[in-house]
Amino acid sequence: MDKCCIELENVDLYYPSHIYNATTFKQEIFSLLKLQKKKDKLDNVHALRNFSLTVQEGEKLGIIGHNGAGKSTLLKTIAGIYPIKSGDLKVRGEIRSLFDLSLGFDLESTGRENIMYRGLLLGETPKAILKQEQEIIDFAGLGEFIDYPIRSYSSGMLIRLAFAISTSIEGEILLLDEVIAAGDASFTAKAKERMTGLMSKAKILVLVSHDLTTIRDVCSRVILIKQGQIIKDGIPEEVIEFYKKTV
């Protein structure tokens, strides 16, 4: 069996300019009345620049850098969410990504129905989801509310359900954007335990975080990204210290 791996070679990724240059009707009116300066037009944003990276099975890779450096963009590129402009991207292994926990939720449907919707979105079969359904319900601790429409849930209840579903399905490659905080204090301990289990079981972990202590404790390798490029790659202690000196 082939080992899991992630390979990016000379990858370039751009955000199209229309995302930034779009203006609302209100902004156009204010500009015509000279109540607001018209925005300068921006070119396409070069988010990843001739980017090369290889992550082998067994590695737990931490990604650090300033806001806007390209950290989350890299994760979503590996996940196949953002299409690359040029270069090569190869991923061998089953990916599980934890970005937007509530993705795929329908507010008018019950918690139980949303377990099925979200599970299908994560690539599971109906049979596999039904097998895990009760464990998800028990972990979320929603009781009879599991059969209520989730529009009636408090924000804490919704987070607990989303977390329970998203972390119930393991993957060979785990892509994680920040260690997820999940609801009230009584839920935090078991949420932390589950996240630790997921990270330890993954054949490859790629973790983006501003928490340098977590990066140091969890990861075996760290890359520092600036303006869509790797400027430092090595063991956690060395890269973190280099980063602190450049801040």
Query: What average pLDDT does this structure show over 211-226?
Result: 95
pLDDT for position 171: 86
Angle (CA) 189-222-56 rounded to 5° is: 95
> What is the dihedral sign for C-alpha 243, 56, 164, 217?
negative
Rounded average pLDDT over 15-27: 56
pLDDT level of residue 25 (50, 70, 90 thresholds)? low
Higher pLDDT, 168 or 55: 55
Are 5-29+40-93+207-246 and 98-202 in the same CATH fold? yes
How does pLDDT run across 110-129, given as a tens digit for each residue? Answer: 999 999 999 998 888 999 99
**Amino acid, single-letter form, for residue 59:** E
User: In this model, does residue 33 exceed pLDDT 80?
Assistant: no
**CA-to-CA distance for 224 and 228, rounded, in angstroms?**
10
| CA 34, 16, 75, 79 torsion-angle sign | positive
Lowest mean pLDDT among 11-20, 43-52, 77-86, 150-159: 11-20
Question: What CATH fold (topology level) applies to the domain 5-29+40-93+207-246?
Answer: Rossmann fold (3.40.50)
- What percent of the chain is predicted at pLDDT more than 70? 87
Mean pLDDT of 233-243: 97
Q: Specify whether the CB–CB gap between 8 and 52 falls below 8 A.
A: yes
Span 79-88, pLDDT tens digits: 998 999 999 9
In degrees and rounded to multiples of 5, residue 130 shows phi and psi of -65, -35
What band does 92 get if pLDDT is binned at 50, 70 and 90?
very high
- Please tell me the least confidently modeled range out of 13-27, 182-196, 233-247: 13-27
Count of Cβ atoms closer than 10 Å to residue 1 Cβ? 3
The residues spanned by each domain of the chain are 5-29+40-93+207-246, 98-202
pLDDT averaged over every residue in the chain: 88
Euclidean distance between CA atoms 111 and 153, whole angstroms: 9
Give the CA distances from residue 154 to residues 87, 149, 166, 185, in Å, rounded to whole numbers and listed in that order: 45, 11, 18, 15
- Name the E strands within the chain: 5-15, 45-56, 60-64, 86-92, 95-98, 173-177, 204-208, 221-226, 229-234
Instruction: Write down the pLDDT at residue 21.
Output: 45
Are the beta carbons of 216 and 65 closer than 8 angstroms? no
Alpha carbons 203 and 61: distance in angstroms, whole number: 11
For residue 205, pLDDT over 80 is answered with yes
| Global model pTM greater than 0.75 | yes
Predicted confidence at residue 19, as pLDDT, reads 44
Closest of 52, 56, 60 to residue 10, by C-alpha: 52
How far from 20 is each of 77, 85, 229, CA to CA, in Å?
A: 20, 18, 22
98-202 belongs to which homologous superfamily? P-loop containing nucleotide triphosphate hydrolases (3.40.50.300)
